[in-house]
């Protein structure tokens, strides 16, 4: 069973408690460890705009808000062989555990890896 690092736990401050519970359960059933990257949790409008300006987000934080701004989203990275991985295979393995955990807890969590039009493999949000 895996456990979030102190840094990843701090990055989840302000994120919806239901999502934190999903993450905790997912860590207990995942076959791959994972964590929360910088900017992977709650974001201010200003930070969201910075990410938009760098073309790292489709939401500008003002006219189009991100779920991150309301604490209804988080991003992950897989942790494999002692380092962060954004490999599609690793993220899909983690996503499977997160989606299973959300179903077990009765929370409607969607994964950006299943979106039509574009994919955001590290992204999850609660509806």
Render pLDDT for 15-47 as a digit per residue (tens, 0 to 9): 999 999 999 999 999 999 999 999 999 999 999
The sign one gets for the Cα dihedral 47, 48, 54, 56 is positive
Render pLDDT for 74-123 as a digit per residue (tens, 0 to 9): 999 999 999 999 999 999 999 999 999 999 999 999 999 999 988 999 99
The domain spans of the chain are 6-126
Please state which of the four CATH numbers 3.40.120.10, 3.30.1380.10, 3.40.50.300, 3.30.465.10 is assigned to the domain occupying 6-126. Answer: 3.30.1380.10
pTM: 0.95
Q: Given strand 123-126, what is the order of strands in its sheet?
A: 73-75, 123-126, 109-111
């Amino acid at each position: 069973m895996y456990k979030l690092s102190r840094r990843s736990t701090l990055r989840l401050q302000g994120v919806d408690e239901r999502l934190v519970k999903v993450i905790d359960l997912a860590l207990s059933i995942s076959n791959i460890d994972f964590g929360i990257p910088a900017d992977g949790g709650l974001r201010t409008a200003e930070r969201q705009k910075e990410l938009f300006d760098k073309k790292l987000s489709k939401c500008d934080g003002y006219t189009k808000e991100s779920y991150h701004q309301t604490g209804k989203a988080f991003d992950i990275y897989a942790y494999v062989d002692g380092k962060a991985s954004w490999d599609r295979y690793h993220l899909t393995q983690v996503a499977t555990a997160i989606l299973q955990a959300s179903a077990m807890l009765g929370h409607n969590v969607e994964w950006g890896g299943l979106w039509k039009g574009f994919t955001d493999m590290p992204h999850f949000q609660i509806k």
